[in-house]
Amino acid sequence: MKKLIGNVILTIGLVGGAITAARIPPMWGGLAVSLGVMAVGIVLRRQGAKEELHRAAQSGTGGVKELERLLTESLARLEAIMDAPKDRVLSELTAVLEELEEFAEKAQPLRIEGLMTYGTIMTVFSRGERALNRAWSAFADGCEDEGRKYLRFGYEDLKETLKAIKSLRV
């Protein structure tokens, strides 16, 4: 709710500031008040966003536990297809990639831990996801050797992501 109220206050401040600044000569007092209103809106918006992240982490719709489960399941499925026939790899890899689509959304509560932590985890994860997409593409195009190479790259990157997430536990 704070986020919504913050957005409304920010918009009111923005419109007020535009109106007072557009006058000739500008209405400096009104502009200063509008800037203050905008600052209040920004503070409320940030508080609301932070509260949403905390609620998501506590409700289990994201955060460390959910991400750990998602990665553990995906890694187990990838291990099972490392040396499997091409057709099985392609269908199973499709399912894994569909599951991993949720990762970025569920990782949002990690921003509570800090932007550097979130950035590090998402960088490694996205590298692994790209490798798995390349593997899928290679298998679909019939380039099995290249597909297996990228499958291993993606697997290793997801393992590294899981390791980084587990290190967040205090």
7 and 47 Cβ atoms separated by less than 8 Å: no
Full-model pTM? 0.65
User: 114 by DSSP, 3-state: which?
Assistant: coil
**pLDDT value of position 113:** 67
Residue 170: pLDDT band by 50, 70, 90 thresholds? very low
Among 19-33, 49-63, 111-125, the range scoring the smallest mean pLDDT is: 49-63
**pLDDT 10s digits, 39-80:** 999 998 888 877 776 676 566 555 677 788 889 999 999 999
**pLDDT 10s digits, 5-22:** 988 999 999 999 999 999
CA 138 to chain centre: 26
* Residue range 64-168, CATH number: 1.20.120
The domain limits of the chain are 1-58, 64-168
d(CA 12, CA 33): 11
User: 25 by DSSP, 3-state: which?
Assistant: coil
**pLDDT value of position 92:** 92
Residue 87: pLDDT band by 50, 70, 90 thresholds? confident
